[in-house]
Structure 1
Amino acid sequence: MPDKFMVIFKPGTPQSEIDKYVNQVQDNGGEVHHKFDSTLHGFSATIPETQLQQLQSLQASGPIEYIEPDTKVTIQ
């Protein structure tokens, strides 16, 4: 079952590169919920497991800074 994640790219990653990964997620059955383009550069999405593994492999030497679960933050 796909889960929601935030995929954040390294500073200086061109928007065209980020858009490429957005399209890959969508083409592989994922759903992009939000694109970040101010302080953070990336997107939040529901990502199928196989696509998530592919994105995680890009963290070491590729354009992705980090991937983390997209959770709701509340203030009490």
Structure 2
Amino acid sequence: MSGKFIVIFKDSATQDQIDKYVEEVNQSGGNVSAKYDSALKGFAASIPDAYLLKLQQQSSLADSPIDLIEADGVVTTQ
């Protein structure tokens, strides 16, 4: 099972670090559907549960390039 998430990286993250995570998502059975590099650094992807757990653990480390992992969804305004 997998869910759709947006992974945002810190401003200090290098493109090589981001590419490494994109590759790992794809190799773990996920699918990166969009990459962001203008207003922010990151990507949107379907991420398998097992790899999501690994990402969440890595993002909690002080030296992690990951800033935020958020469930992807529709946002509306009134």
**Same fold, judged at TM 0.5 (above):** yes
Provide, for residues 20-74 of structure 1, a one-character-per-residue CA deviation record: whole Å limited to 9, x for no partner.
0000000010010100101110100000001000110121221110100010223
1:1-76 matched pairs, under 5 angstroms: 1-61=1-61, 62-75=64-77
Q: Which runs of 5+ in 1 are unaligned?
A: none
4+ aligned runs moved over 3 Å, structure 1: none
> Aligned residues: percent identity?
49
Report the TM-score when normalising by structure 2. Answer: 0.90
Rounded Cα–Cα distance in structure 1 between residues aligned with 2:41 and 2:10: 8
